[in-house]
Amino acid sequence: MALPKIEDSFFLVIGTKTCGYFLQNAMGVMIFAEPRYAMAELEEGDISAQLNDYEELKRLCTQIKRDRNPSVIVWIGTCTTEIIKMDLEGLAPKLEAELGIPIVTARANGLDYAFTQGEDTVLAAMAQRCPEKAPTTETEKEERNAISKLLNFGRKKEDVAITESEYVEHTPLVLFGSLPDPVVTQLTLELKKQGIKVSGWLPSKRYTELPVIEEGYYVSGVNPFLSRTATTLMRRRKCKLIGSPFPIGPDGTRAWIEKICSVLGITPKGLDDREAQIWASLEDYLQIIRGKSVFFMGDNLLEISLARFLIRCGMTCPEIGIPYMDKRYQAAELELLEKTCREMGVALPTIVEKPDNYNQIQRIKDLEVDLVITGMAHANPLEARGINTKWSVEFTFAQIHGFSNARDILELVTRPLRRNTSLKDLGWGKLVKEDAKV
């Protein structure tokens, strides 16, 4: 997700063909980012130290600069670069100075990476490259003023002044997490309604527009898989993390806004009506899933937030599988999950970290769940056994954050259920079950 967000970036994976294959699948399906993604393949000469690492990387980056002219090149280190002790962090500053293009190094060694953990790795590296102070030189100020004029083009001075006065004075807040531009705008406006000004987003649309991050700034994540980025912002940049549930679903979005308001000393307003309005608009979907069960096999680290939202919608969830979970970073989300289960009168799901898929399939069969949200590898085998499935990767790339996008989540969740209902109406239901038995 970080790949398409930074429009003028280029990602160079350094490793073997095998590394390229795994990372292509792990880091947000990099083939979709072509031509802003390339593979620097290490051959025998590189591994046996017969070739000069610096000269080889310089040759590749020079070609990238000539052909693509990106504003930033991100080197993705792999297991191979770790094994042969390739000093990417040492090579990057020297080559950066020579080429005149920023080079960010992110290490993605290990093959247990989910789609989303790849984004976490890149954002953690970029967090360290954010400017530490506001522009001070005349050139920097002129550039910032030019951007401000462009954003306010066509607006009266009085309107601009009114807009600035709508904000409450508070410690700067930076949000982190790669989201589509419309969702960024929606969440920014939701906070603006509370008088909260967002000082910047990480990542920004362009590398040159990375937000200023100073010691003492507040930061808040919008995705549950960005624990490494959160740690980097706290330890390296001395920021204060706002530990909140994540803005997925009306309930999560409201809790996220309320937590930010409480930390900044602001009394939230209008959230009751806003949330009630959204729930009312979702009733047609809620009628389809209310009383049904959902099982998460674990794939993209969004499982806790999605399960909490679906339980609030009236579903039950016997088990949540998740590849990895930082309990400190997701503490507020876990608390909201427990609170939601109490209020809805359902049992708290069993959370299984790095689950055994074979045992999971046995439990799915025994529980006779209505829907399984799983990775692409398990979807077809489960469908062949008459079990409704939904690809978890679709939630990774869909717009699921904020109040207004809750409908998109339910559209994805209910699609397999609606499809099977339509098939039964056509007389296909009995045939599907008989095939499953065979």
pLDDT digits (tens, 9 = 90+) for 2-16: 445 677 788 888 877
The helix (H) or strand (E) run that includes residue 33 is none
Rounded CA Rg of the chain: 24
Bridge partners (DSSP) of residue 322 are: 353
Distance of CA 318 to the CA centre of its chain: 25
Q: Which of 188, 195, 127 is nearest to 167 (CA)?
A: 195
Work out the percent of the chain whose per-residue pLDDT is above 70. 79
Mean pLDDT to the nearest integer, 212-218: 95
Q: Phi and psi at residue 52, in whole multiples of 5°?
A: -85, 115
341 — pLDDT class (breaks 50, 70, 90): very high
Judge contact between 3 and 33, C-beta under 8 A: yes
Judge contact between 281 and 436, C-beta under 8 A: no
- CA pseudo-torsion sign 9, 10, 15, 18: positive
Evaluate if residue 144 carries a pLDDT over 60: no
Q: Tens of pLDDT along 368-420? A: 999 999 988 889 899 988 899 999 989 988 899 999 999 999 999 999 998 87
Looking at residue 402, what DSSP letter applies? Answer: B
> Would the pTM count as exceeding 0.95?
no
Residue 145 CB coordination number (10 Å): 11
* Domain 279-437 grouped into CATH 3.40.50.1980: yes
33 — pLDDT class (breaks 50, 70, 90): very low
Q: Phi and psi at residue 372, in whole multiples of 5°?
A: -120, 125
Q: Counting Cβ atoms within 10 Å, is residue 5 exposed (0-12), middle (13-18) or buried (19+)?
A: buried
Helix/strand/coil for 298: coil
Judge contact between 119 and 2, C-beta under 8 A: yes
| Crossing angle for the helix pair 406-425 and 303-312, to the nearest 10 degrees | 70
Classify domain 2-113 by CATH architecture: 3-Layer(aba) Sandwich (3.40)
Q: What are the angstrom distances between the C-alpha of 315 and each of 194, 394, 405? A: 31, 20, 19
Looking at residue 388, what DSSP letter applies? Answer: -
Q: What is the mean pLDDT of the chain?
A: 84
Judge contact between 257 and 268, C-beta under 8 A: yes
Q: Give the integer Cα–Cα distance in Å for 31 and 37.
A: 7
Q: Give the integer Cα–Cα distance in Å for 313 and 108.
A: 36
* Helix, strand, coil percent values for the chain (each to nearest 5): 50, 15, 35
Evaluate if residue 307 carries a pLDDT over 90: yes
CATH topology of domain 167-272: Rossmann fold (3.40.50)
Q: What are the residue ranges of CATH 3.40.50.1980 in the chain?
A: 2-113, 167-272, 279-437
Query: According to the model, what pLDDT value does residue 172 have?
Result: 96
Query: What token pair was written down for 267?
Result: 């009394």
Helix/strand/coil for 109: coil
Q: Tens of pLDDT along 102-133? A: 999 988 765 445 567 778 888 999 999 999 87
Q: Give the integer Cα–Cα distance in Å for 144 and 164.
A: 16
Evaluate if residue 41 carries a pLDDT over 80: no
Mean pLDDT to the nearest integer, 423-428: 56
